């Protein structure tokens, strides 16, 4: 991220108008929640022997719908409810709000609260799902096939 900020500053004169420290603090619950999602997704990979297509499709879909590359307000109206159902959307929006002092979808406090709830649910749930699937794969003897 620091490299992109440096390149943006050198090439385009980009300047952060907000607080970098607060933006990093807002990103922490999003990252912990992503670890939980990653554990659950890894469990799905254990069940599917050829997960490459699934990984590519889910990465592209989450990238487009969560606003990683652009604000979700530019999505077609029928996709906006789907984007708003993804907590990652609120993380990217809050970070943009803190760094660039832009108008956010919801007040930033609400977005951070959504991220904290998502973190509290996804981290333990993802771990529990992964351990359950791992245990099942060990019982079936399919763990060594990956």
* Domain map (residue ranges) of the chain: 18-145
Rounded Cα distance, 54 and 50, in Å: 8
| Percent of the chain predicted with pLDDT > 90 | 41
Assess whether pLDDT exceeds 80 at residue 145: no
Condensed to tens digits (0 to 9), the pLDDT of residues 55-106 reads 898 889 988 899 888 889 899 999 999 998 888 999 999 988 888 888 899 9
Q: Where are the alpha helices (DSSP H) in the chain?
A: 2-12, 20-47, 52-66, 80-84, 87-100, 108-140
Instruction: Find out whether 98 and 27 touch, Cβ atoms under 8 Å.
Output: no
Rounded to whole angstroms, the maximal C-alpha distance in the chain is 57
Please state the pTM of the whole predicted model: 0.80
Mean pLDDT score, 41-50? 86
Return the residue matching tokens 């060990």. Answer: 138
Phi, psi dihedrals of residue 114, rounded to the nearest 5°: -60, -40
Q: What is the pLDDT of residue 68?
A: 87
Assess whether pLDDT exceeds 80 at residue 116: yes
Rounded Cα distance, 44 and 66, in Å: 21
């Amino acid at each position: 991220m620091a490299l992109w900020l440096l390149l943006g500053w050198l090439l385009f004169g980009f300047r952060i108008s907000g607080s970098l420290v607060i933006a990093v603090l807002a990103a922490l619950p999003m990252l912990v929640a992503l670890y939980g999602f990653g554990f659950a997704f890894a469990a799905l990979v254990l069940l599917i022997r050829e997960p490459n297509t699934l990984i590519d499709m889910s990465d592209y879909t989450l990238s487009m719908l969560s606003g990683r590359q652009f604000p979700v307000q530019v999505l077609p109206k029928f996709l906006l409810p789907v984007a708003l159902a993804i907590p990652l959307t609120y993380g990217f929006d809050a970070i943009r709000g803190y760094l660039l002092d832009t108008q956010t979808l919801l007040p930033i406090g609400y977005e951070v609260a959504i991220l904290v709830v998502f973190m509290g649910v996804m981290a333990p749930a993802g771990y529990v799902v992964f351990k359950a699937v791992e245990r099942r794969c060990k019982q079936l003897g399919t763990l060594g096939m990956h």
